[in-house]
Structure 1
């Protein structure tokens, strides 16, 4: 009985230590009510309950979610505060040169419980988008210089992630086997034509746009070109490159003009409208659980995965500008998420193998120590196997309020007031001024589309 009691205490200790993480309650089910609220008139209901979790094991993730929810709701100042907490959490991870006692504890818990016991440290694409979104917070709060600081950091992170990705590929090749190959193939199909998590044309485009709005055309050209290398068929990026190459008298101008047509420039009394369109939510990770027996004891192995999604339309219709303007896709955030999981698969499998072995050894230990009291053998073995089954949970954590897809559109139009709409959304009023840029950010969450605009 003492052994059974000890196992029960271990189980309860695991429960008490995960009040603010996903050790036993999968993360998607935790965040689902908040995503539903984003389609309502009260998107920030219960935001305090979510933000209270920022001090917990998954604090970085909750800070990102809280910041995004407040951003979608239009509270850019409060969003900025939450995002800053997430940025600080990433920095704290970076600054830890040695393993702390708390990290050792989390590692030990993950061996007997699951990967959700490890403090959440988001994949690179989430960190890149965090700085991108913080830049938009600064911009829509009237601080263009603060926005530039954030997008420069976003660019630096993309370079760092590229180096990390190359190391990951070496690990994938070294661990190649049937299980890894099957999962890699499935995730590759789900990701479509996107082949990495760190190459984000959306982030490069926002960086280029902010440089251009800050009258830094050379820097803008560099980032637009990076975005175009990732998403080469986006006609708005093509036009940006032609226009800036002509403006800067670059040698590439003739080539670009031949490929994509001459630059479209504003005429007198015209201003520019720039649309950033975000659609839907990134998909949730699913779980694959495989039961098997080792030495007569049942074990389970759980891994996170993504299922193939029904594609979203590559274009959105923008009405109210005289003739219909079509926004073109610039990034599939869902594909970035899928590739991030694919890149992490080798490390996840190493942890999984260690956990399976540790649970098997614990089973053997329990049964061996219980043989002297035969009436306790069956009960101890049963409790241990139940514990193994319910504690084995795939790590399904990810930033779930991110958009699934980003689109852009640009056009020079006559100055004036316009009633615009996106697809079947409600109409909203915007103003266009001569020789100025009106930036419109449209965020679609479920059946609700919110518009935010600023004249620069």
Structure 2
């Protein structure tokens, strides 16, 4: 009876029902003409043990459908949850309970604390919320926080990488090698050209050209083939009379400048949904008996596709990739696998001891049989992650004559306005069947 009650209580926190399955209906709704139900459903989970994750999901879902006010509120809930975890100088009683329960169930019992790349993107998207709501001051606050977090995550990673111990397990080692190939051998899960480009763009649009130059330069280091980032770097180096201007000009050529009666159009194009985690089994022996643990993984490879063509301007404009968020997610998991393996092995050993203690003097008893069934049922990989993020993002930009343009891209179209000496920022979010356009004239 105790086992049945425990299993019943676990079914609502990704313990037995995999998180990707729980999010499937919400993602389907976001890719439909009636997406509001997805926001309401996701917001309902903010008070749960996985409240941080649901706040991220609800914030992104509201953002996708253009409700930037609601998105700001949900994202602020996620920010508060992250800060609460940061402020836990001592381990709380509830945290001890959760981690203790994880040894009897699985990692899904532990409250979700987010990945480094998720936290950085949270502030990046919050900055865009403020910008598209007309609050430049709020946007700059989030931009600076995003930059700070990229530095902190790098320091945290460097510190943790010195202490991580690789376990001698051929299955896990082979899976880590496969994940490296699937992510295009990405070296960092948190340093993103997309985040640096967006923060640089917002710095420039809001009058902070020197800070923009610094971020564009970091973006160029992470996305060296993106010609639009190169153009921004050359243009700003010249305008700010930076000593690197001549070097950049020789490497990438002169950047185009506006002619009379022209404005600038910048496209940020996000597509699809980030891949979800799957699981794989790792066999090993305990007390001479074979056991299998479940660890999360990603199936397939997620190399960013080529550019898309934007029609409707004076001539076609082709986007270029700036980030593959799927690759960031894969790389983050690869970095975590040694820790996950250590914890899972300890858990299965604890469960094995429980099963042995449940045996009677005559061997197998009803208690030991129930424990074995319980162990099999509860051995579930932690497959939680922020699933309403886009799979990848691309950018494009051009100076065009002032006027109104009917642009066509992917599955949709929209009318945009271009004014002399100003920038029209076009944020395109494509969820697979529907393409949504949001514009801001600055």
Pairing 1:123-272 to 2, within 5 Å after superposition: 123-172=115-164, 174-175=166-167, 177-272=169-264
- The answer for the alignment partner of 2:9 in structure 1 is 16
Which deviations, in whole Å up to 9, do the C-alpha atoms of 1:259-280 show, x marking residues without a partner? 1111211111100000000011
- The answer for the alignment partner of 1:5 in structure 2 is none
Select the residue among 49, 54, 78 that pairs with 2:46. 54
Which deviations, in whole Å up to 9, do the C-alpha atoms of 1:83-119 show, x marking residues without a partner? 0000000000000011111001101111011110110
Cα separation, 1, equivalents of 2:163 and 2:327: 21
Cα separation, 2, equivalents of 1:117 and 1:346: 19
Cα separation, 1, equivalents of 2:11 and 2:51: 12
Which deviations, in whole Å up to 9, do the C-alpha atoms of 1:42-61 show, x marking residues without a partner? 11215323211111111100
Cα separation, 1, equivalents of 2:309 and 2:204: 25
Pairing 1:284-299 to 2, within 5 Å after superposition: 284-290=276-282, 294-295=286-287, 299=291
Cα separation, 2, equivalents of 1:312 and 1:120: 28
- The answer for the alignment partner of 2:324 in structure 1 is 332
Measure how far apart 1:379 and its partner are.
Answer: 2.2
- The answer for the alignment partner of 1:431 in structure 2 is 417
Which deviations, in whole Å up to 9, do the C-alpha atoms of 1:203-226 show, x marking residues without a partner? 111100011011111110000000
- The answer for the alignment partner of 2:107 in structure 1 is 115
Cα separation, 2, equivalents of 1:149 and 1:287: 38
- The answer for the alignment partner of 2:405 in structure 1 is 418
- The answer for the alignment partner of 2:379 in structure 1 is 392
Which deviations, in whole Å up to 9, do the C-alpha atoms of 1:300-359 show, x marking residues without a partner? 300001122364422111110021101100011001101110111121111111101101
Q: Answer whether contact 1:171 1:346 (CA < 8 A) is retained.
A: no
Could you list the runs of 5+ residues in structure 2 that have no partner in the other structure? Answer: none
Query: What is the DSSP-based 3-state SS (H/G/I as helix, E as strand, rest coil) of the residue aligned with 1:138?
Result: helix
Worse overlay, 406-415 or 343-352: 343-352
TM-score by length of 2: 0.96
Query: What is the DSSP-based 3-state SS (H/G/I as helix, E as strand, rest coil) of the residue aligned with 1:273?
Result: strand
Cα separation, 1, equivalents of 2:260 and 2:52: 49
Query: What is the DSSP-based 3-state SS (H/G/I as helix, E as strand, rest coil) of the residue aligned with 1:55?
Result: coil
- The answer for the alignment partner of 1:4 in structure 2 is none
Which deviations, in whole Å up to 9, do the C-alpha atoms of 1:235-259 show, x marking residues without a partner? 0000001100110111111111111
Measure how far apart 1:292 and its partner are.
Answer: 5.8
Select the residue among 400, 419, 431 that pairs with 1:445. 431
Query: What is the DSSP-based 3-state SS (H/G/I as helix, E as strand, rest coil) of the residue aligned with 1:54?
Result: coil
Select the residue among 79, 84, 94 that pairs with 2:71. 79
Pairing 1:359-374 to 2, within 5 Å after superposition: 359-367=351-359, 370-371=360-361, 374=362
Cα separation, 1, equivalents of 2:181 and 2:295: 17
Tell me the number of residue pairs that the alignment of Structure 1 and Structure 2 aligns: 442
Cα separation, 2, equivalents of 1:48 and 1:244: 43
Q: How has the CA–CA distance of structure 1 residues 192 and 310 changed in structure 2, closer, same or farther, with 3 Å as cutoff?
A: closer
Query: What is the DSSP-based 3-state SS (H/G/I as helix, E as strand, rest coil) of the residue aligned with 1:313?
Result: coil
- The answer for the alignment partner of 1:63 in structure 2 is 55
Worse overlay, 96-105 or 171-180: 171-180
Q: How has the CA–CA distance of structure 1 residues 296 and 253 changed in structure 2, closer, same or farther, with 3 Å as cutoff?
A: closer
Cα separation, 1, equivalents of 2:405 and 2:371: 67
Q: How has the CA–CA distance of structure 1 residues 279 and 295 changed in structure 2, closer, same or farther, with 3 Å as cutoff?
A: same
Q: CA RMSD in A?
A: 1.7
Q: Answer whether contact 1:298 1:385 (CA < 8 A) is retained.
A: no
Cα separation, 1, equivalents of 2:394 and 2:47: 34
Measure how far apart 1:23 and its partner are.
Answer: 0.5
